[in-house]
Homo-oligomer: A and B are copies of this chain.
């Protein structure tokens, strides 16, 4: 089936500590990075404007950032929405933009995501700690860190996943970040398995190199109706499939399983079906490696390998840049960084860049079909997109 919706612009800002810009400057920079990948775009083209932001109320004392975006871009769209779905805000914003274009409400939309966190770590940490169920769980000490640590320990027990395999994910993603100048840890370069394994403990068994960092950064994409794509670029990338699913569980205690993510399997199934492809057809993927254990579980529940085999998948080098299915070529959340509102959009930007053949030192040869996976909470909410450079 041909796709109705094209990505015609896609860019990210430098991720990391961005004390050189204000929040609004970072927002404008993200949009500019996307516009610079296009042949043209005019203010009146921006009929839809979607802003993905998780915690500006906490970290920069500013609400109504949808209106801020209209101001910074100098546009008067027909629909403006700020979306918050915690770490999956970005991909959810893209889903809403997709629907608005598909419905005929608008022709073209800018989707911009950002977060500015590093200048205010106390509020950034609060923002992260109030994503799970505050009344019943966070208040008793279940944070993202301890929650994913439980998943790691259980996955180790059930499937024999090892401490080394967790660290191999970090080593791979730092290696990719070393090839991505926009990545937060670009200048750190490659890290050794020893360094990754011996970092200080955060929540046993997860150490510092198993955890994604606090990051400032922005990302933006421009979506348009298929028949208008050539106006903006000669390299449109097509949204071929999408799937989204959620568990009726804000916290971890209502999850049917913490090592097999049923909502991810539902989202992936819908996306593969819509795109009419199978996991083996995917050439490159960006998955949600908020913790190393997450990437391992995602190999399994996205169908890249069989259940329980995720540890072996990284150990065998399958997901490396030179492997059979390179994952997180950007450096991933682990090493590119995780500015919450930007993350889901930055994943789409990386795959778009790969499918356009413009990923430089980290380019995957002959990448034609790519996948993104963005999650929130204790893997309670998932969005999967499948992109192609062929309509």
Contact = CB atoms under 8 A, between A and B. Distances in A.
A49 B133 CA distance: 19
A76 interface: yes
B248 A130 contact: no
B92 A81 contact: yes
Query: Which 6 A-B pairs have CB atoms at the shortest separation, nearest pair first?
Result: A102-B103, A103-B103, A64-B86, A99-B103, A99-B100, A99-B99
Contacts of A244: 78-80
Contacts of A135: 22, 24, 62
This chain: copies in complex: 2
Contact of A57 (B57, B102, B263, B380): B57
Most buried by B among A82, A99, A263: A99
B76 A245 contact: yes
A263 to B, nearest CB: 7
A73 B248 contact: yes
Contacts of A66: 84-85, 246, 381
A61 B130 contact: yes
A98 B106 CA distance: 13
Contacts of A126: 61
A64 B377 contact: yes
Interface string A228-253: 00000000000000011111111000
A55 interface: yes
A126 B132 CA distance: 23
B71 A250 contact: yes
A74 interface: yes
A131 interface: yes
A104 interface: yes
A202 interface: no
A376 interface: yes
A70 interface: yes
Interface in A30-84: 49, 54-55, 57-58, 60-64, 66-68, 70-71, 73-84
A190 interface: no
Nearest to A92: B81
Contacts of A315: none
A62 B130 contact: yes
Given A64-B131, A81-B96, 11 more contacts: A55-B57, A67-B380, A70-B248, A71-B248, A76-B248, A78-B245, A79-B92, A80-B246, A83-B84, A96-B99, A99-B100
A71 B254 contact: yes
B127 A57 contact: yes
Nearest to A242: B105
A57 B130 contact: yes
